[in-house]
Structure 1
Amino acid sequence: MLKLKYLFDNNDLAKMILQNWSYDPESLDMFQYYRISSNAVYPFRVQGKVHLLRFAPVGEKNQTNLAAELEFLSYLKLNQYGAMEAVPSHAGKELVEAHTPWGTYYASVFKRVPGNQMGSIDINDQIVHSLGEALGKLHRLSREYTPKQAKRWTYTDVLDWMEDVLGEFFGENAALNEVEVLRNYFANWPVTQQNFGLIHYDFELDNVFYDEESRSCYAIDFDDAMYHWYAMDVEQTLDSLRDEIQPDEWEQKKRIFLQGYWKEAGDAYDMESMFPACRRFANLYGYVRVLRSGAEQWAHEPEWMSGLRARLDKAMTVKAKQFGQQQPLQLPAK
């Protein structure tokens, strides 16, 4: 999540950055449908087709990670995987460093994927199975992928980053202890080509679109990708899916998802024993990102920002419940 000071709508900034690409001038009224979270995203059209401008301040992003994301997306396209596709700028660059009166920004443009966001549709068994297949195929392709130019960061890099951020805040001893608990615990996990590789990390329903015509899924927002155990992706997806499923249907839907997943991912292995530690990693990472995002405060903040702070504080309290607990976590089978 970006620092809160970057969450303000800035049409002039978006228009200035967009000059690096082709666009239909009359489509800029679509900017009203912008969203800002980990990036600012503004929709527009090129020859009538919807595209998305994505940008963020350079201080909020790692250039190597962004380049690695784009390289992985090119690999997925070559392998006919349903994912967002980058569009080169006038200068032939998929990643533009734009200098503006508001600072320097990293920017890219992507074609809109087909279908509808899965968080906005009714999810039946076939769609759940397709979601599992999409994640399983992503992991199968990841096993075969070797970056040629840039490599995404690893879970250990993320733990290091969290430790650095937490060191800037007084009284975050429980969160710092959680970093060490997870660092020591993951050090004992087996790392194999089958269970570890480049994951999406945020393969949640808001980042997956389902196309009714092709009956297939398309993934967006690879901005959080990292090297981790594939179980991390599966846990994150199931956690997102659970929110959309009736409790009495959950076990059936979970089984259908995993059937689709293993159909594409290959031979099944003990993954569910890895979920509790993966959930703790996700909670810690979310906590630290929100802590950093809201560190600065100002007098007379707009009402939407005050409301957002309240929601974020509540979410942080939930995520922090297990911090530092030393209860035994089962090691996955080797």
Structure 2
Amino acid sequence: MLKLKYLFQNKDLAEMILKNWSYDPESLDMFQYYRISSNAVYPFRDQGEVRLLRFAPVEEKNQVNLSAELEFLRYLRTNQYGAMEAVPAHSGTELVEAHTPWGTYYASVFKRVPGSQLGSINLNDSILYSYGQALGELHQLSRTFTPEQEEKRRWTYTDVLNWMQEILKGFPAEMAALSEVEFLRTYFSAWPMNKQNFGLIHYDFELDNVFYDEDSQSCYATDFDDSMYHWYAMDVEQSLDSLLEEIEPDQWEQKKQLFLNGYWSKVGERYDLESMFPACRRFANLYGYVRVLRSAAEQFSHEPEWMSGLRARLSRKMTEHAEQFGKGVDS
């Protein structure tokens, strides 16, 4: 999540950055449908086709991670996987460093994937199975992916733990969160790590980032911005967690199994994923906690009402995330 000061709409900034690509000028009224969270995303059209402009301040992003994300997307599409596709700028590059009066930003443009967000449609059995298949196929392709330059690969879960530790040094009162970092570092160090269970994951393969296309009866993945090297169980746990709110309790076990059956149909040989879920949830909760802590740290005088409301929601979410800090991993 970006720092709160970057969550304001800025159409002039978006238009200035977009000049690095071709676009239909009359489509800029689509900017009203922008969204800002970990990035600012503004829709537009180019020759009638919907595109998405994504950008964020350079101080909020890691250029190596962004370039590695684009490399992985190219690899996925080369292997006919349903993932978003980057559009080269006039310069021929997929990642632009744009210097503006508001600062310097990293920006990319992506084609819109077909279909509808899973979070906005009825998740019947066929779609749930396809959702699991899409994640399984992603992990299967990840197993054979090798970055062109090893020193420019995406960061790992240990890099993320190190990043969290550095952020928490600026918050001396957050001793419980800092202890959680060390707990997870030690806990994960004992886990077996091999090509079957560990690799480049999406990390945010949740309902809002996966689209289902009725025509092809298949899923398309978007928003690889959070991807990292981690155990594949992390992706599976995150996906199931996002499903939990959409499924009636009495149907949960059946629907969960449908998703997992779809997953294993693409991955192949089964192994014990579910014993890894509790620690994966702890990692996700801690990472979410630290990101929100950092984003909301700066206070502003005369904050708009929407920001005050957002702070209240974020505070509740942080309280939920912190509930497991200091407990046993299976609690």
The alignment's TM-score, normalised by the length of structure 2, stands at 0.99
**CA displacement at 1:170 relative to structure 2:** 2.4
Instruction: Flag as ranges the 4+ runs of structure 1 deviating above 6 A.
Output: none
**CA displacement at 1:67 relative to structure 2:** 0.3
Partner of residue 234, structure 1: 236
Return the alpha-carbon distance in structure 2 between the equivalents of residues 192 and 329 of structure 1.
23
The C-alpha deviation readout for 1:293-325, integer Å capped at 9, x for no partner, is: 000011110000000000000000000001122
* 1:176 aligns to 2:178 (yes or no): yes
Write the mapping of 1:140-159 to structure 2, written as runs, cut at 5 A: 140-149=140-149, 150-159=152-161
Partner of residue 309, structure 2: 307
Secondary structure of the corresponding residue to residue 53 of structure 2? strand
**CA displacement at 1:260 relative to structure 2:** 0.2
* Preserved contact between residue 278 and residue 329 of structure 2 (Cα < 8 Å): no
**CA displacement at 1:197 relative to structure 2:** 0.1
Equivalent of residue 223 in structure 2, options 208, 221, 224? 221
Return the alpha-carbon distance in structure 2 between the equivalents of residues 4 and 216 of structure 1.
36
Aligned residues: 329
Secondary structure of the corresponding residue to residue 272 of structure 2? coil
Partner of residue 101, structure 1: 101
Secondary structure of the corresponding residue to residue 324 of structure 2? coil
The C-alpha deviation readout for 1:73-101, integer Å capped at 9, x for no partner, is: 00001000000000000000100000000
The C-alpha deviation readout for 1:188-242, integer Å capped at 9, x for no partner, is: 0000100000000000000000001110000000000000000000000000011
**CA displacement at 1:329 relative to structure 2:** 4.9
Unaligned segments of structure 1, at least 5 residues: none
* 1:87 aligns to 2:87 (yes or no): yes
Per the alignment, do residues 328 and 200 of structure 1 end up closer, same or farther by CA in structure 2, a change over 3 Å counting? closer
**CA displacement at 1:265 relative to structure 2:** 1.0
Partner of residue 68, structure 1: 68
Return the alpha-carbon distance in structure 2 between the equivalents of residues 224 and 4 of structure 1.
19
Partner of residue 37, structure 1: 37
Secondary structure of the corresponding residue to residue 208 of structure 2? helix
Partner of residue 4, structure 1: 4
* Preserved contact between residue 70 and residue 86 of structure 2 (Cα < 8 Å): yes
% identical aligned pairs: 75
Return the alpha-carbon distance in structure 2 between the equivalents of residues 117 and 69 of structure 1.
21
One-letter amino acid matched to 1:6: Y
**CA displacement at 1:266 relative to structure 2:** 1.3
Equivalent of residue 260 in structure 1, options 232, 237, 262? 262
One-letter amino acid matched to 2:123: I
* Preserved contact between residue 139 and residue 201 of structure 2 (Cα < 8 Å): yes
Return the alpha-carbon distance in structure 1 between the equivalents of residues 316 and 176 of structure 2.
17
Return the alpha-carbon distance in structure 1 between the equivalents of residues 20 and 53 of structure 2.
11
Return the alpha-carbon distance in structure 1 between the equivalents of residues 131 and 329 of structure 2.
32
**CA displacement at 1:328 relative to structure 2:** 5.3
Aligned-pair Cα RMSD in Å? 0.8
